[in-house]
Structures are given as structure tokens and as C-alpha cells.
Structure 1
């Protein structure tokens, strides 16, 4: 059970990091 929670947390952190980088690239393109 603990491994599943840690795995989901790992995927969530990767998703958030990807969104941050994506938004950063969009802001750079807008500027």
C-alpha cells in the first residue's frame, strides 16, 4: 500500500514539474 502511494506521489511530482516547464516555455514564447 505504501509503495502505491509513493508511486502516485512520484508521478504527481513529475506531472507538476512538466506543467511548470510547459508554462515557462509558453511565457518565454509570449515575451
Structure 2
């Protein structure tokens, strides 16, 4: 089962996930 996803979309998805996790953890630490 191979998904043919263009590389830019993979990088964008990874960046969006990283930013989302960053803000979530920041919110959690802020209280």
C-alpha cells in the first residue's frame, strides 16, 4: 500500500504537526 504524496505536502504536514505540538505543549505548560 504505497501512497503517492508529493514531497512538499509531506514537509508541510510535518511542519504543521510540529507547530501544532509546539503550541499545544506551550499552552499546557502555561497552565
Q: Same fold (TM over 0.5)?
A: yes
- C-alpha RMSD over aligned residues: 1.8
Where in structure 1 are there 5+ consecutive unaligned residues?
Answer: none
Number of residue pairs the alignment of both structures matches: 28
Q: Taking structure 1 as the reference length, what is the TM-score of the superposition?
A: 0.79
Indicate the residue corresponding to 2:8 in structure 1: 8
With the length of structure 2 as denominator, give the TM-score of the two structures. Answer: 0.79
Runs of 4 or more, structure 1, over 2 Å off, are none
